[in-house]
Amino acid sequence: MATIGNGDLRFEPQTDWIRLPPDVEITEAIGVAVNSQDQLFVFNRADPAVIVLDAQGAFHQAWGAGQFTRPHGIWIAPDDTLYLVDDLGHSVRQFTADGSLVRTIGPQGVPSDSGADDLDFRQIVRGAGPYNFPTNVVTAANGDIFVSDGYGNARIHHFDAHGEYVRSWGQPGTQPGQFQVPHGLAIDHQNRLYVADRENSRIQIFSAEGQLLDQWTDVVRPCQVFVAADQLVYIAELGNRNGRFPWMECPAEPTCGRVSIFASDGTLVCRWGDHDDARRDDAFYAAHDIWVDSQGSIYVGEVARTAAGMVGEDTSGLPTLRKFVRC
């Protein structure tokens, strides 16, 4: 099988590597995360909501049926507990690896007063408190928690390690420090936060206190960011060919889903995807989440069914979970 990438960053796409029991199906791998044992946790937009596989794709366990209104974001902390974001449920909750609820972070179930009452981010008139259709979550080395509140809000919320609210920042808009769908989050060893500001097609980088440090614009509708142990920055890009709201026009030469890898200074190191045929092993339809395991293998979760439904395309054969093994 042909490899992809360049230089020292080369990967081999895996095919037919997932082995599930007949009563378990990955409908949409809306989120992917790997624990300290290199077990893959798939946040599935169906029941069961959490599916656990080993690194070879063998089924380990599943849980979470009936516990989520609509799964969206996932993060695994160094202690191997999971933080799971339910966007339509307006909640962020922490679970053990086997599905026991540890705690709820912030309020739950009632949208904050941003002016929006659905997923149309054009309705947002003000940055509000937690939450209005939150999107993702990440934890810092000291246990602090950061939540991107993106579909019905335009803010990043900061909680301390005990789950106590600290601060929020962000307002709707296109200026530096403002957001149009802050969709994904990552954090590096310097405690810098990388925010996938999706509808502004940029990555904005902040201090933990909310100070804007930098922004990268060589991305198209980024959905999620992951900073690996070597501090390379992996980005899952939705592109603008599909997954568009009804009022969005398709560009004359649209960018398809892709994965981009940047150095910590914003230099593009490697990129692939952006192919009209998303069913190819080296292409993506709607790259939504990304994680890198201890061996350097990349997992990409796709939101193909939802994205295709938004533009009326056929979903048959579209990928939902990709794996690329480091060569």
Q: pLDDT tens-digit profile of 34-83?
A: 999 999 999 999 999 999 999 999 999 999 999 999 999 999 999 999 99
- In single-letter form, the type of residue at position 1 comes to M
What is the pLDDT at residue 2?
80
- Which tokens belong to 200? 């502004």
> CA 220 to CA 234: how far, in whole Å?
14
What is the pLDDT at residue 8?
86
First-residue to last-residue Cα distance in the chain: 12
Q: Name the β-bridge partners of 94.
A: 83, 103
For the residues 168-184, what does the mean pLDDT come to?
A: 98
What is the pLDDT at residue 291?
98
pLDDT at 4 over 70: yes
Domains of the chain listed by start with CATH number: 4-326 (2.120.10.30)
Q: Which of 3-12, 111-120, 146-155 is predicted with the least confidence, judged by mean pLDDT?
A: 3-12
What is the pLDDT at residue 319?
87
pLDDT at 6 over 90: no
For the residues 226-237, what does the mean pLDDT come to?
A: 97
Interval 120-141: pLDDT, tens: 999 999 999 999 999 999 999 9
Q: Name the β-bridge partners of 101.
A: 95
Interval 181-222: pLDDT, tens: 999 999 999 999 999 999 999 999 999 999 999 999 999 999
Model confidence, pTM? 0.97
Residues whose CB falls within 8 Å of the CB of residue 321, separated by 6 or more in sequence, listed in order: 18, 26, 29, 32, 42, 299, 300, 301, 302
Cβ atoms within 10 Å of 54's Cβ, excluding its own: 13
* Own/partner pairs, 161-166, CB within 8 angstroms, 24+ separation: 163/103, 163/104, 163/105, 163/106, 165/106, 165/130
Distances in Å between the Cα of 201 and the Cα atoms of 173, 178, 221, 276 are 12, 12, 4, 20
Give me Rg for the CA atoms of the chain: 18
What is the pLDDT at residue 114?
98
- Which tokens belong to 121? 């981010």
What is the pLDDT at residue 7?
83
Nearest to 138 by CA among 37, 39, 31: 31
Which position has the token pair 């690996």? 228
Which position has the token pair 């048959």? 316
Interval 248-289: pLDDT, tens: 999 999 999 999 999 999 999 999 999 999 999 999 999 999
pLDDT at 1 over 70: no
* Own/partner pairs, 238-241, CB within 8 angstroms, 24+ separation: 238/198, 238/286, 238/287, 238/288, 238/303, 238/307, 239/273, 239/274, 239/284, 239/286, 239/287
